[in-house]
Amino acid sequence: MLNFIAKRFVMLILTLVVVSVLAFLIPYVGDGDPVRIILRSRMADEVTDPAMIAALTRELGLDRPLSEQYLGWLWRVLQGDFGLSFTTRTPVDVMFLHALGVSLLLALGALAVAFLLAIPLGTAAAVKRGRAFDHATSFFTQALVAIPEYWIAPILILVFAIYLGVLPSAGWHDWSSMILPVIVLSLRPLAYFTQVARASMIDVLNAPYMMAARARGLGVSASLLAHGLRNAMLPIMTLFSLWLTSLLGGSIVVEAIFAAPGMGWLLYDAVLNNDVPLIQGSIVVIVALAVIINTLTDIVYVMLNPAVKLMS
Amino acid sequence: MTDTTIINSTVIREPGRVRRWLADRHLLTKLGAACFLTILLLLLLTPLISPYDPAAQNLLQKLKWPSAQHWLGTDQFGRDVLSRVIHGGLFSVAVASITIILCAVIGIVIGAVSARKGGIVDEMLMRLVDLLIAFPDVVVAMFFIATLGPGPVTLIIALTAVGWTPFARMMRGLTLEVSSREFIEAAEALACSRWFIIWRHIIPNTLGPVFAMAFLRFGHKLITVGGLSFLGLGVQPPASDWGTMLADARNYMDRMPWLVIAPGLAIFITALSVTMIGKGLEFERNRERRESETT
Amino acid sequence: MNAQQDDEALLRISGLRVGFGSPKHRLTVLDGLDLSLRKREILALVGESGSGKSMTALAAMRLLPQGAAVTAGEIRLDGQDLIALDDKAMNKVRGARIAMLYQQPKIMLDPTATVGSQVAEAMRLRWNLSRAEARPKVIGLLRDVGIPEPELRAKSYSYQLSGGMAQRVMIAAALSAEPEVLIADEPTTALDVTVQAQILRLLRKKRDEHGLAILLITHDLAIVSSIADRVAVMYAGRVVEQGPAREILNAPSHPYTQALLRSSLMQAKEDGRLYAIPGHVAASHSMTCGCRFQPRCTLAGQLGIEAQCLSDEPRLETVSAAHESRCWGKGREGRVHAV
């Protein structure tokens, strides 16, 4: 078990190093003078005087080898200093705090909706396996996966904001502005959760220990609650964490459509404006979160599932 | 009545290979394939069948509802929406197709090598997969767009960079499964080379599930490509695709909802048809498994 | 003694028919099964695989697999017909009045739940106990079935148990709500020989202490001889012979029982090869009339009564007190034995 955690931890650190190197290199591989880009991210005022630039270059170590510059950059990043955003002229790390909150709210809201609908839907499909309801659910989930969010989102805005006028079309004001983005973000996870819930429920329903529980006097639903759900939950849990990481930084399109100031939108804005420090910071933060959550999930999974623990 | 007896040739025709192959296909596969092939045909025959030049503006006819002349109406510049929808699919479908093929090929090679080599190579590759699989692909795309600039090549590189991981993971499992069968042991006993065994024995026996996964993932790639175009990071003007059409139409959607519905529907139907093929292939595989278990 | 007439029976199965599939394409697996189990009795149900033993157990628990259904007959527990009960009432019968043991104890335990929680389940349902109230009882039960350090074991998981330990846990879980009847479906088949004996002793102890009635399903006649009071031999979905264990084992009347004994005692034939019954169990649906064992029976040929065996099915008829057999050759077999 300790060996397993140690291995995952080493991989985690390695990934973060690789990602940070890639992010560090962004100003050097794009067009534009890296020195100017970096100066712009470090100085509150624009520097144009060549003599000043030369002096600052020496002072900030920008004439040193790349490896030394990287270590300096990494040291500042570890302290939370990603530099100043080109567009807002504020420290990037402050922008992240707010954006992360927004993304987390949207992601958890969407996953909660998906989870609460998928468990009963998947269970019902598993119980009615092979019958019309099962086929209908299967087709429904396939259709959900095929819906582009940038199509359903405008349609929902059209219906609920423009025609009915019951919900705001975009922006970030109160809980009502969360409803539409949460619905749109929940569709795909809903489809995948339902498919996985159905499959693991079928496994569980045929499991010998369920029959033994019935023989002890538990009814169908009581045995499902006592023994089925926990066993069926393990695969869904893994999927849940994968989607959490994916939605935290990856809901760029939805956040852009609804003008929800989350991580995805921040990154999108940064790419549009070539806001290098913001791009660097967003990528490091999003990937670090994804990898950390993923590693933690794997560890929790092994701890929850006693049989796996034995093998590793 | 003339006594002409027509002797029917009652030879029972041996069902052809094609027909037998078709009979084995799941209903979803057939429906999805029919739908997808139709779409591909429409996209490839575009110049022949599109009723208007998709770029031809006619400001007198702008923002018209569907009519006999313009089946799907016209947009804000009076361009024929039907022609634009037919033209607009090519970019997304082409980028998604190339991406998915690259992902599958890379995944197959890495998965097979990982499983056959075992040991430290296997361990390293699979831990890499474990980590990359958690990367949101849009974020990876953003990184590449920020460094390489937008465009189809960037999109293909970006979506392939992490897209191969599920294929590799699946291929590794399948390879281990196939490797335990007798004919691999026989090939090893004959001292066949590693690459020969992978190429001749492992890959042919694992293609079915890989195909199913490729079709299932294709829909997702198509939607992602369209989404990046929607954000202005995919296809660059003056070219356009379904994603950019949707983005343009948003400003007019309260007056002309049709402008939003049409290109989105096109993406939806294309993605749904390939998903159906993938699901159908998956069902076929499960069915075969069940049959081989019971007999 | 016929099942219908046995007034002392605690569990009485009469005329039970169980089939798979729709009415049009039905595959009958139990066809007019009669069986009765008295209080404090260990009744062994023996037969080859495919004879319908396990189906009988599942039917009595009303836990038939999907697609299978009872189409006729009664299963009475203390006079109450279980077939007529609704699902809720049946839930109250399972565990509390009839419990079950299985062949593969390890896979019958939930891998994510502790052993103790599963042992507590039936008693908590029957007497509405809280976890804390059930705990001392669970530990007592585990100790009673011979599990060392029961306090510790109650918190362990199935993967941490050996097969023998898991079966002991399953026995504790089955007896948790003090049922009157225990149906044990090949409870020792998957275990080591030494552990088998321990488990059987444990079952007999439970019978002696609590007056538990046990329906022991097995194909192993050595187990029968060591523990059973009475034996019922099944062939193709019905009972072909039943009676006191000693009598059946020493003086089997039905040619199938005789063949079964010969094959299981590993008696070598004259040529040194082991005896095996020729052919295999006929599916009971393929029979329309006549004796089900006729195709594999050697007695019929020796007695020259094939015509009768082919056209009419024999009934269960008394051989001696409490010993019944379903064979046309009954009473005439002496002539053969003499040969």
Report the pLDDT value the prediction gives residue A135, as an integer from 0 to 100: 92
Residues 6+ apart with CB under 8 A from B169: B107, B111, B126, B129, B133
| Residue pair C44/C228 in contact by the 8 Å Cβ criterion | yes
What value does the mean pLDDT of chain A take? 85
On chain A, the residues whose CB falls within 8 A of the CB of C66 are none
pLDDT at A311: 43
More confident residue, C274 or B288: B288
Helical segments of B7-80, H only:
17-23, 27-44, 46-49
- The tally of CA atoms less than 13 A away on the side-chain side of residue A72 is 13
Query: What would the mean pLDDT of B251-271 be, rounded to a whole number?
Result: 86
Dump pLDDT digits (tens) for C23-79: 777 788 888 888 999 989 999 999 887 788 889 999 999 998 888 889 889 999 988
Query: Quick one: pLDDT at residue A220?
Result: 86
Tell me which chain A residues have a C-beta less than 8 angstroms from the C-beta of B254. 158, 162
More confident residue, B125 or A305: B125
| Predicted local distance difference test score (pLDDT) of residue C142 | 92
The number of C-beta contacts closer than 8 angstroms across A and B is: 139
Taking a C-beta distance cutoff of 8 angstroms, is the pair A285, A248 a contact?
Answer: no
Instruction: Specify the residue for token string 């029959």.
Output: A211
C-chain CB neighbours of A219 within 8 Å are 87-88, 91
Q: Give the pLDDT confidence score for residue C333 in this predicted structure.
A: 54
Task: Quote the CA–CA distance of C52 and C28 in Å, as a whole number.
Answer: 10
Is C126 in Cβ contact with A217 (below 8 Å)?
Answer: yes
Residue A37's pLDDT band (cuts 50, 70, 90): confident
* Chain C residues in contact with chain A using a Cβ-Cβ cutoff of 8 Å: 61, 63, 87-88, 91-96, 99-100, 102, 104, 107-113, 118, 121-122, 125-126, 157, 159-160, 170, 173-174, 176-177
A34-42 helix and A2-29 helix, angle to the nearest 10 degrees: 110
Token pair listed for B28: 């979803």
Confidence of residue A299 (pLDDT cuts 50, 70, 90): confident
Compute the distance between CA of residue B101 and CA of residue B96 in angstroms, rounded to an integer.
Answer: 9
Tell me the chain C residues in contact with residue A217 when contact means C-beta distances shorter than 8 Å. 91-96, 121-122, 125-126, 177
Find the residue in B nearest to A27 (Cα).
Answer: B147
- Range A169-184 average pLDDT: 87
Look at residue C124 in the predicted model and tell me its pLDDT.
92
Q: Is B219 on the interface with A (CB under 8 A)?
A: yes
**Contact assessment for residue B259 and residue B81, using Cβ atoms and an 8 Å cutoff:** yes
Residue C22 has pLDDT above 50, yes or no: yes
Residues C11 and C239: their CA atoms lie apart, in Å, by: 16
Instruction: Please give the residue that has the higher pLDDT: either B241 or A118.
Output: A118
B abuts C (3+ Cβ pairs < 8 Å): no
d(C-alpha C48, C-alpha C217), whole Å:
11
Buried b (16+ CB within 10 A) or exposed e, A180-205: bbbbbbbbbbbbbbbbbbbbbbbebb
> Per the CB < 8 Å rule, is C91 touching A227?
no
Residue B138 confidence (pLDDT): 86
pLDDT for B253 beyond 70: yes
Report the pLDDT value the prediction gives residue B2, as an integer from 0 to 100: 43
pLDDT digits (tens, 9 = 90+) for A202-238: 888 888 999 999 999 998 888 888 888 888 888 888 8
Higher pLDDT, B9 or B162: B162
Of A216, A222, A306, the CB nearest to C159: A306
End-to-end Cα distance, chain A: 6
- Cβ-defined contact of A291 to B131 (cutoff 8 Å): yes
What band does A46 get if pLDDT is binned at 50, 70 and 90? low
Among A142-151, A168-177, B24-33, B196-205, which range has the highest average pLDDT? Answer: A142-151
Touch of C by A (3+ CB pairs closer than 8 Å): yes
Overall size of chain B counted in residues: 295
Q: At what angle do helices B165-179 and B119-132 cross, to 10 degrees?
A: 140
B8, pLDDT greater than 60 = no
Q: What is the per-residue pLDDT for A294? A: 85
- Best C102, C108, C171 member to test A by mutation, with max A CBs in 10 Å, is C108
pLDDT of residue B24: 76
ipTM score assigned to the predicted complex: 0.83
Choose the weakest-confidence range: A28-37, C159-168, C204-213. Answer: A28-37
Predicted pLDDT at C32: 85
Q: pLDDT grade, residue B183 (50/70/90)?
A: confident
Which whole number is the average pLDDT over B18-23? Answer: 75
Look at chain A and count its residues: 312
- Joined tokens for residue B195: 């690459």
What's the pLDDT score for residue C272? 61
Residue-level pLDDT at B4: 44
Mean pLDDT, chain C, rounded, equals 83
Q: Which residue, among B27, B137, B139, would best test binding to A if mutated, counting the most A CBs under 10 Å from its CB?
A: B139
Whether pLDDT at A59 is above 80: no
Q: Write down the pLDDT at residue C140.
A: 92
Residue C222 pLDDT level (bands cut at 50, 70, 90): confident
Higher pLDDT, B189 or C171: C171
Q: With 0-12 CB in 10 A as exposed, 13-18 as middle and 19+ as buried, what is B45?
A: exposed
Look at residue C205 and tell me whether its pLDDT is greater than 60. Answer: yes
> Which residue ranges form the domains of chain C, and what is each CATH number?
3-325 (3.40.50.300)
Q: Which amino acid is at C178?
A: E
- Among A209, A217, A307, the residue with its CB nearest the CB of C122 is A217
With CB atoms and an 8 Å threshold, state whether A154 touches B220: no
Which of A117-121, B7-11, C31-35 shows the lowest mean pLDDT across its residues?
B7-11
Find out whether C231 and C245 touch, Cβ atoms under 8 Å.
yes
Say which residue, C317 or A283, is predicted with more confidence: A283
pLDDT at A113 over 90: yes
Q: Which of A25-39, A177-191, B86-100 has the highest mean pLDDT?
A: A177-191
Beta strand C230-235 with C42-46 is parallel
Percent of chain A with pLDDT strictly greater than 90: 28
Q: What is the pLDDT of residue C270?
A: 60
Q: How far is CA B219 from CA B93, B141, B275, C112, in A?
A: 9, 17, 6, 37
Q: Which DSSP state fits C180?
A: S
Distance of CA B274 to the CA centre of its chain: 6
CB contact under 8 A, A268 and B231: yes
Chains that touch C (3 or more CB pairs under 8 A): A
Written as six digits, the tokens of C142 are 């585990």
DSSP per residue over B275-287, as a string? HHHHHHHHHHHHH
**d(CA B201, nearest CA chain A) in Å:** 30
Q: Which of A284-298, C30-44, C283-297 has the lowest mean pLDDT?
A: C283-297
Specify the pLDDT at position C19: 87
| Predicted confidence (pLDDT) at residue C266 exceeds the cutoff of 60 | no
Per-residue pLDDT of C153-176, as tens digits, reads 999 888 888 888 999 999 999 999
Residue B7's pLDDT band (cuts 50, 70, 90): very low
d(CA B280, CA B274): 10
Are A148 and B268 inside 8 Å of each other by CB? yes
> Minimal CA–CA distance to A195: which of A235, A155, A243?
A235
- The answer to whether the CB of C326 falls within 8 A of the CB of C319 is no
Asked if the Cβ–Cβ distance from A216 to C170 is below 8 Å, we say no
B11-24 mean pLDDT: 67
DSSP structure string for chain A? -HHHHHHHHHHHHHHHHHHHHHHHHHHHHSSS-HHHHHHHHH-SS----HHHHHHHHHHHTTTS-HHHHHHHHHHHHHTT---B-TTT-SBHHHHHHHHHHHHHHHHHHHHHHHHHHHHHHHHHHHHTTTSHHHHHHHHHHHHHHH--HHHHHHHHIIIIIIIS--S-SSS-SSTHHHHHHHHHHHHHHHHHHHHHHHHHHHHHHT-HHHHHHHHTT--HHHHIIIIIHHHHHHHHHHHHHHHHHHHHHH-HHHHHHTT--SHHHHHHHHHHTT-HHHHHHHHHHHHHHHHHHHHHHHHHHHHH-HHHHHH-
- Omega into B238 within 30° of 0, i.e. cis? yes
Is the pLDDT higher at A154 or at A44?
A154
pLDDT digits (tens, 9 = 90+) for C88-127: 999 999 989 999 999 888 889 988 888 999 999 999 999 9
Give the pLDDT confidence score for residue C335 in this predicted structure. Answer: 46
- SS3 state of residue B147: helix
Question: Is A277 within 8 Å of A92 (Cβ atoms)?
Answer: yes
Buried/exposed code over C101-112 (b: 16+ C-beta within 10 A; e: otherwise): bbbbbbbbbbbb
Beta strands at C9-20 and C27-38: parallel, antiparallel or unpaired:
antiparallel
Question: Is residue C338 predicted with pLDDT exceeding 70?
Answer: no
Q: How far apart are the C-alpha atoms of C37 and B205, rounded to whole Å?
A: 55
Q: Which of C63, C87, C92 sits opposite A211 (nearest CB)?
A: C63
State whether residue C288 is helix, strand or coil. coil
pTM of the model: 0.78
Distance from the Cα of A232 to chain C's closest Cα (Å) equals 10
Residues 6+ apart with CB under 8 A from C25: none
Name the token pair of A29: 């591989």
Q: B29 at the A interface (CB within 8 A)? A: no
Q: For residue A206, what are the contacts with CB-CB under 8 A and spacing of at least 6?
A: none
Laid out side by side, the sheet with C27-38 consists of C27-38, C9-20, C68-77, C80-81
Interface of B with A in 121-180 (CB under 8 A): 127-128, 130-131, 133-139, 142-143, 145-147
Minimal-distance CA residue of chain A relative to B147:
A30
B94 interfacial to chain A (CB closer than 8 Å) = no
By C-alpha distance, which of B88, B98, B80, B78 is closest to B235?
B88
Express the helix, strand and coil content of chain B in percent, nearest 5 each. Answer: 75, 0, 25
Assign residue A274 a region: left if phi > 0, alpha if psi is -120 to 50, beta otherwise?
left
Q: Tell me, what amino acid is at C198?
A: Q
